[in-house]
Structure 1
Amino acid sequence: MMSMNLLSQVAAGVTVAGLVFAFVLEVFFHRDPRTYSFTLIRPQDVPAVRLWVIFIGLYNLCFAAGIAAGLLLLNVGSIGAGRALVLFGCTSHIVLAILFPFVERRLWRNALMEGIPPLTAVLAYLAWG
């Protein structure tokens, strides 16, 4: 059974790191004015959106855990399960990144940061296994 090439795995690892970073910002720093450009939260809206911001952060952490578990499984011999987790997590974030600018045009940079690493992982896998 074919594993995943190194570039795919590194790009998936970068995806995990980005999702964990987003989790930390969204859950622990959503009140910090330095994150407002990242989240587009206005200071007066922080109490109203707190629940949603935290849950989005938790979703990001769950996806990060799934991709990380997939990478671990790939490298301990459960190749099929690992590959499925990595490809599912990465493909999900490609779709989300594509939709991001349609929901809020000002977040196009966020869309690139969210989409390029998982797209690299999937394309490298499709090209080289």
Structure 2
Amino acid sequence: MASTFEDLEVWKRGCRLAVSVYELLADCRDFGLKDQMQRSAVSVPSNIAEGYERTPKDFIRFLIIAKGSCAELRTQLYISTRINLVSTQQSETLIDETKQISKMLQALISNRQQQLTKQ
């Protein structure tokens, strides 16, 4: 088990994803969608970190919230592409990353749930 949340690869990738979203939307003038996408992106690593510092049961709950934020961001990326706010290439790269992070979160959730049932 990682000794800190900073050691978790999924947290590191979540941080990189959030930075990528901020960079992508730096010049965006659609402030509503921009704000929502940035919030979703930041929510992923933030919930991983917050949950890690709580009880094992809470950690699972926060990982589930992070996974939901990842899906929310993926949805917003699809929308932003359809309204020509983000290029298809940029969107596809970030959508792929959200899918990979979601898989990592699910694996971590399953692992932690198994650990809880063994106790």
Bucket of the pairwise TM-score, normalised by the shorter protein: 0.5 to 0.7
Q: Distance in 1 between matches of 2:36 and 2:101?
A: 20
CA radius of gyration, larger in = 1
Q: Distance in 2 between matches of 1:22 and 1:60?
A: 7
Specify every segment of 5 or more residues in structure 1 that has no aligned partner in the other structure, as ranges.
Answer: 1-5, 31-38, 40-49
2:69 matched residue in structure 1: 89
Q: 5 Å matches for 1:12-91?
A: 13-24=12-23, 26-27=25-26, 30=27, 50=29, 52=30, 54-77=31-54, 78-91=58-71
Write out per-residue CA displacement over residues 28-83 of structure 1, whole angstroms, 9 at most, x where no aligned residue: xx2xxxxxxxx6xxxxxxxxxx3x1x444322331233212211123213313311
Aligned residues: 100
Could you tell me the TM-score, scaled by structure 1's length?
0.55
Specify every segment of 5 or more residues in structure 2 that has no aligned partner in the other structure, as ranges.
Answer: 111-119
Q: Distance in 2 between matches of 1:101 and 1:63?
A: 17
2:92 matched residue in structure 1: 112
- CA 1:62 to 1:127, structure 2 compared with 1: closer, same or farther past 3 Å? closer
- Whether contact under 8 Å (2:11, 2:49) holds in the other structure is no
Q: Distance in 2 between matches of 1:58 and 1:120?
A: 23
Q: Aligned-residue CA RMSD in angstroms?
A: 3.2
Q: Using CA pairs below 8 Å that are at least 6 residues apart, which structure has the higher relative contact order?
A: 1
Q: Distance in 2 between matches of 1:11 and 1:113?
A: 17
The answer to which structure has the higher helix fraction is 1
- CA 1:103 to 1:18, structure 2 compared with 1: closer, same or farther past 3 Å? same
